[in-house]
Structure 1
Amino acid sequence: MHTLSILLNTAAQAATETAKNLNTQVSTSLTPADIFEKGGVMMYPLVILSIIALYIFGERYFAIARARKFDNNMMNEIKQKIKAQEFNDALLICETSNTPMGRMIAKGIRRMGRPLSDVQTAIENVGNLEISKLEKGLPVLASVSGGAPMIGFLGTVMGMIQAFYEMSSAKNVDISNLAGGIYTAMSTTAGGLLVGILAYFAYNILVARVDKTVAIMEHTSTEFMDILHEPTKK
């Protein structure tokens, strides 16, 4: 019985020590702030790139949303005004909409009376300008999605160089000499991939929204040209 009691006490002490070790491991778990701090100087460009990507995504997302506010009701009103030859009222509707579609139709109304090919060319020119405005900032966002992982990999190389330099300079080679450099290397890699992945998804979301807006612009210009063709069919 005495031996059994000793074994039980030993097991209890071992369990207590294990629990303490687990608690210590949990309390020393890494936080994003720790990873950023240990990532070194290459983490600062990644932070700047992430801010740029976030700004471009937010600004373009809401700008594209505003550009798509031209609805069928506005087009029907413009159609009625044109048929009634109330061109100034039709222009006013286009200008107050403050959308790419409105500016395209306004250009077409101002060209009315000229050959239809000239009207269509003027509308297409305005449309191309509006598309370039919608795509503003997207090349920068694409560059962030590709450049951020490269910066992260550069930090990885610098961290490994630091690790091997410390090992070559140390009198007694220890795993701790290598750990700091690897820590820095892995931190910058993770940061670069995170920023790059988020920027990549943001870029594709904006491209999809721009494509949908362009499709609406094409449909609107076609509908306007159909209005101009109607009198010649009678």
Structure 2
Amino acid sequence: MVEIVKAGGWLMAPIILCAIIAMGIMLERFWTLQQKRVLPDDLTSKVWNWVKENSLDHRQIQSLHQGSPLGQILAAGLINRDRERVIMKDSIEDTGRHVVHELERYLDTLGTVAAISPLLGLLGTVIGMVKVFTAITTHGVGNPTVLAGGIAEALITTAAGLTVAIPALIGYRYYRNRVDTLVVDMEKEAIKLVEALHRRQSYNKQSQKDS
């Protein structure tokens, strides 16, 4: 393996660096974007029970905000639960944009790695072929050993670049779709809470009028 890396020339260093970055991002996103970490089971139902029992306080809202991305969004709505529906919805949407930004963290870097890795491999190919033609000009084509180094460099860097780019691109596409799915699910949960709080608010107002 070490001999292959050496044969690929100095461009193998940035290609290996890209591989390390891509692997690190994919492992980190795999851990961060788990369903149970982003959308804990029955979180919305638990929050609604707090509201119905009038047991919701600042400490619970703070804990909810720190617990998960969905919790951050629900906490934004709960802070404004006694205000108008539009204000509550705007607060949730504003927090949602920050949450989405956090969920998409490092994905642009992963996409960049997927894009530049084959280009680095192509650059290695060009450099290797330049060495081949230089060797031909200097020594002719009679000695294949002279040409082998440039050809090996060209092929190894191309293969290495593609080896890094393909899984990086797959990971980028997968996690981008994963984020989109999670965002849609969080929107559904937030809408359910907003509608429930709005109905409760309307009911309380009607009860006050009747009394």
Please give the TM-score of this superposition, normalised by the length of structure 2. Answer: 0.88
Unaligned 5+ segments in structure 1 are 1-31
Q: Over residues 182-223 of structure 1, what are the superposed CA-to-partner deviations in whole Å (9 max), with x where a residue is unaligned?
A: 111000000001100011111122112212211221111111
Is 1:57 the counterpart of 2:39? The answer is: no
1:207 aligns with 2:176: yes
How far did 1:116 drift? 0.8
The structure with the largest alpha-carbon Rg is: 1
Q: 2:41 aligns with which of 60, 67, 71?
A: 71
The answer on 1:226 being equivalent to 2:163 is no
Return the offset for 1:92.
Answer: 5.6
- Partner residue in 1 for 2:146: 177
Number of residue pairs the alignment of both structures matches: 201
How far, CA to CA, are the matches of 1:71 and 1:196 in structure 2?
Answer: 35
* CA-based RMSD: 1.9
1:229 CA drift (Å): 2.1
Partner Cα separation in structure 1 for residue 158 and residue 54 of structure 2: 64
Contact 1:157 1:185 in 2 (8 A): yes
| Structure 1 range deviating more: 37-46 or 150-159 | 37-46
CA deviations over 1:17-55 (Å, ceiling 9, x no partner): xxxxxxxxxxxxxxx443222111111110000000111
**Partners of 2:116 and 2:94 in 1: CA distance:** 33
Q: What pairs with 1:141-152 in structure 2 (closer than 5 Å)?
A: 141-152=110-121
Using the size of structure 1 for normalisation, the TM-score is 0.80
What is the deviation of 1:61?
1.5
Structure 1 residues 112-150: Cα deviation after superposition (integer angstroms, max 9, x where no partner): 221110000000100110000010100010000010000
**Paired amino acid for 2:74:** I
CA contact (8 A) 1:67 1:99 kept: yes
Q: Which runs of 5+ in 2 are unaligned?
A: 207-211
Higher relative contact order (CA 8 A, sep 6+): 2
Partner of 1:91: 61
Correspondence for 1:7 = none
Q: Percent identity between the aligned chains?
A: 29
Hey, what does 2:14 align to over in structure 1? Answer: 45
Instruction: Spell out structure 1 runs of 4+ moving beyond 4 A.
Output: none
Deviation at 1:76, TM superposition (A): 1.5
Q: Give the letter for the 1:117 counterpart.
A: V
Partners of 1:139 and 1:51 in 2: how far apart?
A: 16
SS at match of 1:87: coil
